[in-house]
A and B are shown apart, each in its own frame.
Chain A
Amino acid sequence: MNMAGAFVLDKAAILDRLGGDEEIYTMMVDMYLQDIDHNCATLAAAATSGDAYSLQREVHTIKGLLATFSDDEGAAVAYQVEQKIKLGNLQGMESDIPGLDARLREVAGVLASHR
């Protein structure tokens, strides 16, 4: 699965969705950064558990997280991975899951640098 291009923060788009509320935006960024390690660990654990449904659910969660920060490309990749798992196709997971992990961390880095 091809990973998306570099994440570019579109704060205006996120704020637009949040009705211009900077307070909520800051709170969400803080939470994302606070939870990043936990989310990556949970994803990795699901990948090694052999439980396809758990893995699909975690990928679904990551898709939501990326979409929350307007990472449309990252969310699209997560969606493709989610659909593959849903269809029972686990081929390529060894690179897909680390790819999602890397994307989560990349987004975290960008968010942290814009605080």
Chain B
Amino acid sequence: MHTVLIIDDSDINLTLIKALVLKLGECNPVLFDNPLKALDWCREHVPDLVIVDYMMPDMDGLKFIAAFRGLHGRDEVPILMVTANDQKDVRYDALLGGANDFLTKPIDRVEFGARARNMLSLRSGQKFLADRAQHLAALVDERTSEIREREKELIFRISRAAEFRDPETGAHIQRMAYYSLAIAKGLGLDEAARRLILEAAPMHDVGKIGIPDYILLKPGKLTPEEFEVMKGHSRIGYELLKESRSEILKAGAQIAISHHEKYDGSGYPRGLKGNDIPLFGRIVAVADVFDALTSERPYKKAWPLEEARHFLEEGRGKHFDPLCVEALLAEWEDVLDIRQRFADEEMPLL
């Protein structure tokens, strides 16, 4: 059913055009004798065809067309301007001003039928294309979402593969990712950045996959030489991920190489200082250390929360970016909730 908007200050013309529109079939005429009221209606409704008279009180047809075209989403709706035979200049102005065609007064049914049908056919074509475009966009969204979900799962499983060779647990990956998210939220990062860090943070230690077992799984303290090898996991993780076209993997590469940097420049592998350390690296540094401190390991007990909090506060401006520490502390309720949701025995997907 097509909605046909008819605007004419003459009742007889409104009635005539309405009757002719009904004769077209599959049409629902909507009548206005006042262009301003018609314009108000158009703010809430999108007609399939507009038939508008030229000479009307309050607002002439040309001004109506300009105002109508100015409304969002009304730029393609076909418009027929009704003019008298002697108004050639008005017709030109109407066509230039956004009318698609015109009708001559007195209205002739054959001419009216042909022009109105052409316009409605144009409208049907527009709607078909718009529906198709919408359908395709929905399909692309669906497929993109599937690919993204697969990507997330692969990232999680790759990260788990690395963590399996490590005394740390799958729940550690989850907690530190959500702590990173809490910090991003506290820093006021936008939604896209928050989602990116949540998805990329689990890859922070993926480079451990390249560290020999005798070092990675050594129960005792590492020698300085062994520690140097261990530090290599930052670069290995970066090398693994850096050339990916995926935004998540690229962010993962950045996190891998920068999450052991320290704010005062004493970290590794590049000894970057302050804001030269990528933001995601500064965030993950806080999240990773906080979770490591507050988690139990075969070689240590979990620190009480207050002590871990104190450690972070003490490390502000030295080990950690002060703003990232403040952000985590500002989201303390979230921190407690994350600890509860991702206890060590649980390993749900992100």
Q: Which A residues fall within an 8 A CB radius of B?
A: 17-19, 21, 23-24, 27-28, 31-32, 35, 54, 57, 60-61, 63-65, 67-68, 70, 79
Contact = CB atoms under 8 A, between A and B. Distances in A.
A35 B15 CA distance: 12
Nearest to B105: A64
A24 B16 contact: yes
Nearest to A68: B106
B23 interface: yes
Contact of A21 (B23, B56, B86, B105): B23
B108 A27 contact: no
B84 interface: yes
Contacts, number: 57
Interface residues of B, number: 22
Contacts of B113: 19
A68 B13 CA distance: 9
User: Interface on chain A toward B: helix, strand, loop, or mixed SS?
Assistant: helix
Contacts of A35: 11-12
A31 B19 contact: no
Contacts of B106: 17, 64, 67-68, 70
B12 A65 contact: yes
Given A24-B20, A60-B55, A19 B12 contact: no
Among B55, B106, B110, B113, max chain A CB count under 10 A is at B106
A68 B112 CA distance: 14
B35 to A, nearest CB: 13
A61 B9 contact: yes
Interface in B1-52: 9-13, 15-16, 19-20, 23
B109 interface: yes
Contacts of A19: 23, 109-110, 113
Contacts of A57: 55-57
Contacts of B323: none
Given A19-B110, A68-B12, A68-B16, 13 more contacts: A17-B109, A18-B109, A21-B19, A28-B15, A35-B11, A54-B57, A60-B55, A61-B10, A64-B13, A64-B105, A67-B105, A68-B105, A70-B106
